Structure 1
């Protein structure tokens, strides 16, 4: 009995050591890679910013003019906390902003977006930054897969009843049998426009910051 008990203790100790080592390795890998992953996501996001702004319609670098929304405002846009607003200016005047927004209810999880909105409240462009939607089915929300997302261009916030996919009585097309993903995106874009409409009545610092002195003045594509 003592020998059996001793072997059980040895086995338990061995399993504990293996678990401890595995946990330490996983923590180490995360510590080494999470900043790299975050940096790569940020770089991809910045590369997409210009895609949702009017070509030649601004003369600053929106990335350098970016400001940070509070955690509370970030959550109003569906994000986890503080988020960036990239501000495009022409001759020092704000002409458009690009908001980070998140649709929490994609088919396979969160869909992260960039939504460009001009000074009059109309959409200049929308792009999906990251998603986990089903390849070949729900991933047509990605501009690299189809032009579905272009139907937002030029639209402004009107009747809420229009801001739905056609299957739900709204104006937006969606692929038959794959409406969860576009439904989530439409909702997130409409939510962004509601946020902008509310903030236009009480402009904040993120909306009125002066042009940084060292920004390039050449027109951006």
Structure 2
């Protein structure tokens, strides 16, 4: 006759199920996953912030140097002994809205201004930096950025063509209003084969700049004499 096993002993002989730790139980919950995702996002944001802080000053310096390099192309060095970019003026214009103007001064006297205008071209906005002296003459025009068709509209880039220098010395007084257009429209400026919209936009931008300078000449002078 076989012995009857003790229930306690039988239970002890059976293999016990592995115990689940509190951490493993918590890890499977939605709250844990949400908290983990939040911590990862916070860490990434912190790293991005630190990286931005480290590179911000360098980026700002390089941007200033790039803008100064273009400024020197439109503003002759002999016309100013100040730092136009650091002495900018903000003017509200009825036609062009709010514009930032960079005054050039020599021995404290205003000699010219430079500012950016934007006109719609074929592929998007064409941003130009234009300098005009106190007599209302164009000193220089350079394109800062554009999205025009490569190969067709490249002539607005000074590195590819001298077309932009055709505005130098022009003013509202020595160039009649009807000449501020491309030749196809009865004006004096060459158009580009297959890309007439682009030169039209640039010409319009330069004309708008001259008209802005004429409207704002008194306001700019008043800003200059403020303490």
TM-score (norm 1): 0.69
Matches within 5 A, 1:19-98: 39=60, 43-70=65-92, 73=93, 76-77=95-96, 82-98=98-114
Counterpart for residue 10 of structure 1:
none
TM-superposed deviation, 1:198 = 1.7
Counterpart for residue 100 of structure 1:
116
Structure 2 gap ranges (5+): 1-40
CA–CA distance in 1 between the matches of 2:66 and 2:226? Answer: 24
- Contact preservation (8 Å) 1:156, 1:193: yes
1:204 is paired with a residue whose SS is helix
Counterpart for residue 149 of structure 1:
164
Change in CA separation of 1:119 and 1:181 when aligned onto 2, cut-off 3 Å: same
Structure 1's consecutive aligned runs of 4 or more residues displaced over 6 angstroms after TM superposition are none
Identify which of structures 1 and 2 has the higher relative contact order when contacts are C-alpha pairs closer than 8 Å and 6+ apart. 1
Report which of the two structures shows the higher radius of gyration computed on alpha carbons.
Answer: 2
The match for 1:159 among 145, 164, 176 is 176
The match for 2:132 among 117, 138, 144 is 117
- Contact preservation (8 Å) 2:110, 2:224: no
2:209 is paired with a residue whose SS is helix
Structure 1 gap ranges (5+): 1-23, 213-221
CA–CA distance in 2 between the matches of 1:122 and 1:149? Answer: 15
Over the aligned positions, Cα root-mean-square deviation in angstroms equals: 3.3
Change in CA separation of 1:205 and 1:118 when aligned onto 2, cut-off 3 Å: closer
**Matched residue pairs, number?**
180
The match for 1:134 among 140, 149, 154 is 149
2:191 is paired with a residue whose SS is coil
TM-superposed deviation, 1:206 = 6.7
CA–CA distance in 1 between the matches of 2:117 and 2:64? Answer: 14
Change in CA separation of 1:183 and 1:42 when aligned onto 2, cut-off 3 Å: farther
CA–CA distance in 1 between the matches of 2:150 and 2:176? Answer: 32
Counterpart for residue 188 of structure 2:
171
